[in-house]
Amino acid sequence: MRFLPKSLVLVGALAAAGLAQAADIKIGVAAALTGGAAQYGVAIRNGFQLAADEINAKGGVNGNKIQLVVEDEQGKKEEGINVFKKLIFQDKVLMVFGPTLSNSMFAAGPVANGAKTVVFGTSVTANGITDIGPYVFRNSVMESDVLPVTVATATKHYKLKQVAVIYGNDDAFTKSGYDVFKKVLEDQKLPVTTTETYVKGDVDFKAQLTKIKASNPDAVICSCLAEEAANIMLQARGLGIKVPFIGGNGFNSPKLFEISKLAGEGTFVGSPWSNTNPAPANKAFVAAYVKKYNAEPNQFAAQAFDALHVAAAALQEVKLSGDIAADREALKNALPKATINGATGPFKFRPAVTKSGKPGGWDADQKPFIYVVKGGKFTAFDGK
Amino acid sequence: MEWFNDFWSTYSTLVFSVGVHALLALSIWLTLSCGLLSLANAAFMGVGAYVSALLTLHLEWSFGSVLLAGGIAPTLVALIIGAPVLRLSGVYLAMATLAFGEVVRITVLNLEITGGPEGLNGIPLATEGWHIALILAVTVYGLARLRRSKVGRAFEAIKEDEVAARLMGINVDRYKLLAFSLGAFIAGVAGALNAHFTFFISPREYGFENAVDILTMAVLGGTSSLIGPMLGSSILTLLPELLRSLQDFRSLVNGAVLVLVVLFLPKGLWESRRIRAFFKRLKGGQA
């Protein structure tokens, strides 16, 4: 009996060696798992984990299993850089997904680009991200792709003649959303009656809303995060503003209706993902996500899920040589050609248009879904 | 050598951060050594970071002059606000300097040239290890000399008893302003260094939270000597990275360490008298 533990150790070691050999595509995931952006980061990690499990259960990519190396970047720029460096230089991953926030990407992206390693953002919508360099990819659909469609659809549906605008002017996300709205309204020649602002943490919007009411708009455009948007809707109805709202990406949260109840009826929102999209790929994703995590998926999980499938599609075309620098380069060259039909619909890349004119990275080329809110739920808008 | 290259490419940013945080902790140590509880250092850091980044991006100044400008700009601001603000003391000074920090943050948020809430991105990498090492060495040497000089003695006298210092003929207001603006200079240079290795700056990095972080570094290390702030800043920067393997429990352990230090070593980790006593006891034990 004395040799038994030893042989068990041997078997264990062999099994471990076998596992290590099968798990041979290391992919880094940097997500904000703690801190202010954790609500997005955790959903993103779940999306990646789900996709990796699914790919590995089907035998991996060309027989190679995908091994995710997940690190917490806390939504801070220095942490983002540290995590990227650890993943790229120490763990020697083939490519990096993340980080969660655009700010962190501006700091960490150049690190990956300088190290000639593909960095793939799933939730970084800010302008200029793909200006960083040719190794930068994202499947996050930018506001500048979504909002023109949202505004045009709402204008047609409600026959809008003039709109009011409200936005948070101290937050990178809501401010850049506003900049896009402003340009879209100019392009579509929709006059603005008044533009109101608030700062993060405000709970009382009556002063701004009273001004909006007096300016008599046909709709209120709102570049706000979900919590503030819900309060704005509730208080607008309280003041007797009956016109519909038009929202940006910040509206894409179930929280919006938890707080605002039925105040948001008729709101138009554009989103890269729809939980009611009946496409089989999306139905399978939603079912698998609910089964594994016992929670409803959101847009961030869906985009992360799709991102790994995009990478897997590209990896299928790459012959891995074992030389990490050559493999990273091969992946960078294969990735732009990858297309999938995933949870967020048909996906392909398009080359980014950079400010400097130098070749940049790759943006998502995807059509947004337009929703209208009915009965406290997002309902796909069918154009009638 | 290869091992070192791997280590350096992974952790160079962390080492840079240790140096920059040490500078910040020293900058607040300077005002604390004069008995001033000023929380404006994060804002001074921000002014330095923005001024230097804008000079690099738009005017393409050389890095040396950019660093100098990054230090001088907050010093000028400190000289202007110092005169009225330094009439306050204790928590009132802390409140006024915090309010100043908010003013800086909101100004940066609303200016066109600073990129507003979206910040400035695409700042080229210019900071190298030896820049930080050299500046830190010069700062430590300068501060060590300062402590032993007439100025340092005056700071100490003001810290112990302002009225007594005034009666001894020390120009209290002028020395306070000197400590305040020198601190601003160091913080500004630290901000400029930081901006040139993180590629990106935004207003949220220089707010209340960071002001408190800087104070924590100095207080955790101990403010009785120059070693304390440097020790405190190194620990606070390295600890989260060393605890990375704990994953979900990281923040918890990080916080617990801080609580334990404050509970059992209320004067900070490095208290000269205690350390000296410890070594004396060690010697006594051997004999």
The string of pLDDT tens digits covering residues B120-134 is: 988 999 999 999 999
Q: Are B144 and B152 in contact (CB under 8 A)?
A: no
Q: What is the pLDDT of residue B286?
A: 56
Q: Are A154 and A185 in contact (CB under 8 A)?
A: no
Could you tell me if A8 and A137 lie in one domain?
yes
Q: What's the gap in Å between the CA of A107 and the closest CA on chain B?
A: 5
Domain boundaries, chain B: 15-235
User: Does any domain span residue A378?
Assistant: no
CB contact under 8 A, A72 and B247: yes
Alpha helix ranges (H) inside chain A = 3-22, 38-57, 77-85, 102-114, 143-158, 172-187, 206-215, 226-238, 255-260, 280-293, 299-316, 324-334
Instruction: Give the pLDDT band (50/70/90) at residue A378.
Output: confident
User: Does any domain span residue A342?
Assistant: yes
CB contact under 8 A, B13 and A86: no
Round to whole Å and give the CA distance between A111 and A134.
13
Could you tell me if A137 and A12 lie in one domain?
yes
Q: What is the pLDDT of residue A68?
A: 94
More confident residue, A18 or A152: A152
Could you tell me if A137 and A150 lie in one domain?
no
User: Does any domain span residue A8?
Assistant: yes
Nearest by CB to A170, from B17, B109, B244: name it. B109
Residues A121-135 pLDDT 10s? 998 888 888 889 999
ipTM of the complex: 0.84
Round to whole Å and give the CA distance between A300 and A131.
22
Could you tell me if A244 and A327 lie in one domain?
no
Instruction: Give the pLDDT band (50/70/90) at residue B285.
Output: low
Select from B204, B208, B213 the residue whose CB has the most chain A CBs within 10 Å, as the one to mutate to test that interface: B204
Q: Which percentage of chain A shows pLDDT scores above 70? A: 93
Residues A250-281 pLDDT 10s? 887 777 877 888 888 889 988 888 877 888 99
- CATH code at A228? 3.40.50.2300
Question: Over 80: is that where the pLDDT of B55 sits?
Answer: yes
Element (DSSP H or E) covering residue B108: helix B90-110
Q: What is the pLDDT of residue A315?
A: 92
Torsion of CA B133, B137, B143, B148, to 10 degrees: 160
Q: What is the pLDDT of residue A304?
A: 94
Could you tell me if A169 and A255 lie in one domain?
yes
Mean per-residue pLDDT of chain A: 87
Helix (H, G, I), strand (E, B) or coil at B5: helix
Cβ neighbours of A133 in B, within 8 Å: none
Round to whole Å and give the CA distance between A187 and B107.
30
Cβ neighbours of B9 in A, within 8 Å: 85, 89, 115
Mean per-residue pLDDT of chain B: 90
Q: Does B109 touch chain A (CB under 8 A)?
A: yes
Angstrom CA distances, A341 to A192, A286, A309, A347, stand at 38, 15, 9, 6
Angstrom CA distances, B51 to A151, B120, B211, stand at 39, 11, 19
Q: What's the gap in Å between the CA of B207 and the closest CA on chain A?
A: 13
Question: Over 50: is that where the pLDDT of B48 sits?
Answer: yes
Give the residue from chain B lying closest to A176, CA to CA: B118
Residues A60-99 pLDDT 10s? 898 889 999 999 988 888 899 999 999 999 999 999 998 9
Q: What's the gap in Å between the CA of A2 and the closest CA on chain B?
A: 35
Could you tell me if A7 and A131 lie in one domain?
yes
CB contact under 8 A, B116 and A175: yes
Could you tell me if A126 and A94 lie in one domain?
yes
Q: What is the pLDDT of residue A103?
A: 86
- Give the other-Cβ count within 10 Å of A2's Cβ: 5
Select from A84, A88, A106 the residue whose CB has the most chain B CBs within 10 Å, as the one to mutate to test that interface: A106
Could you tell me if A23 and A107 lie in one domain?
yes
Average pLDDT over residues A350-357: 82
Which domain covers residue A251, as residue numbers? Answer: 144-271
Round to whole Å and give the CA distance between A66 and A277.
28
What single DSSP character describes residue A25? Answer: E
Q: What is the pLDDT of residue A383?
A: 63
- If one counts the domains in chain A, the total is 2
Q: Which percentage of chain B shows pLDDT scores above 90? A: 64
Q: What's the gap in Å between the CA of B105 and the closest CA on chain A?
A: 10
Residues B109-159 pLDDT 10s? 888 898 888 889 889 999 999 999 999 999 999 999 999 999 999 999 999
Round to whole Å and give the CA distance between A187 and A203.
32
Which residues, 6 or more positions from B270, have their beta carbon under 8 angstroms from its beta carbon? Answer: B221, B222, B224, B225, B227, B228, B231, B232
Give the residue from chain A lying closest to B202, CA to CA: A103
Average pLDDT over residues B167-195: 95
Could you tell me if A306 and A338 lie in one domain?
yes
Round to whole Å and give the CA distance between B168 and A225.
59
Angstrom CA distances, A249 to A157, A225, A244, A299, A368, stand at 20, 8, 17, 10, 11
CB contact under 8 A, A110 and B110: no
Nearest by CB to A172, from B9, B119, B199: name it. B119
CB contact under 8 A, B117 and A171: yes
Q: What is the pLDDT of residue A16?
A: 46
Q: Are A92 and A323 in contact (CB under 8 A)?
A: no
Could you tell me if A187 and A241 lie in one domain?
yes
Could you tell me if A125 and A174 lie in one domain?
no
Round to whole Å and give the CA distance between A303 and A334.
20
Question: Over 80: is that where the pLDDT of B251 sits?
Answer: no
What backbone phi and psi angles, to 5 degrees, belong to A120? -125, 110
User: Does any domain span residue A373?
Assistant: no
Ramachandran area for residue A298 (φ above 0: left; ψ -120 to 50: alpha; else beta): beta
CB contact under 8 A, B10 and A89: yes
Q: Which of A41-55, A275-289, B20-34, B253-267 shows the lowest mean pLDDT across its residues?
A: B253-267
Tokens of residue B144, six digits: 């060590």
Chain A residues within 8 A (CB-CB) of chain B?
Answer: 33-34, 71-72, 77-79, 81-82, 85-86, 89-90, 103, 106-107, 109-111, 115, 126, 128, 131-132, 169-172, 175-176
Instruction: Give the pLDDT band (50/70/90) at residue A237.
Output: very high
Name which of A146, A129, A119 is nearest A345 in CA terms. Answer: A146
CB contact under 8 A, B119 and A170: no
User: Does any domain span residue A64?
Assistant: yes
Q: What is the pLDDT of residue A12?
A: 46
Instruction: Give the pLDDT band (50/70/90) at residue B69.
Output: very high
Give the residue from chain B lying closest to A35, CA to CA: B251
Give the residue from chain B lying closest to A86, CA to CA: B10
User: Does any domain span residue A379?
Assistant: no
Q: Does B116 touch chain A (CB under 8 A)?
A: yes
Q: What is the pLDDT of residue B240?
A: 82
More confident residue, B281 or B42: B42
Q: Which residue has the tokens 């403010």?
A: B223
| Beta bridge mates, A28 | A69, A96
Single-letter residue type at B65? S
Q: What is the pLDDT of residue A4?
A: 46
Single-letter residue type at A127? N
Cβ neighbours of B119 in A, within 8 Å: 103, 106, 172
Q: Does B89 touch chain A (CB under 8 A)?
A: no
In angstroms, how far is CA B82 from the centroid of its own chain?
A: 18
Number of A:B CB contacts under 8 A?
70
Q: Which of A241-245, A365-369, B69-73 has the highest mean pLDDT?
A: B69-73
| Strand pairing class (A369-374; A377-380) | antiparallel
Q: What's the gap in Å between the CA of B6 and the closest CA on chain A?
A: 6
Cβ neighbours of A115 in B, within 8 Å: 9
DSSP one-letter string for A77-131: HHHHHHHHHIIIIIS--SEEE--SSHHHHHHHHHHHHHTT-EEEESS---TTGGG
Helix (H, G, I), strand (E, B) or coil at A365: strand
User: Does any domain span residue A231?
Assistant: yes
Q: Is A174 exposed, middle or buried (0-12, 13-18, 19+ CB in 10 A)?
A: buried
Could you tell me if A136 and A149 lie in one domain?
no
Q: What is the pLDDT of residue A212?
A: 94
Kindly provide the b/e burial profile for residues A308-343, where b requires at least 16 CB atoms within 10 angstroms of the residue's own CB.
Answer: bbbbbbbbeebebeeeeeebbbbbbebbbebebebb
User: Does any domain span residue A151?
Assistant: yes
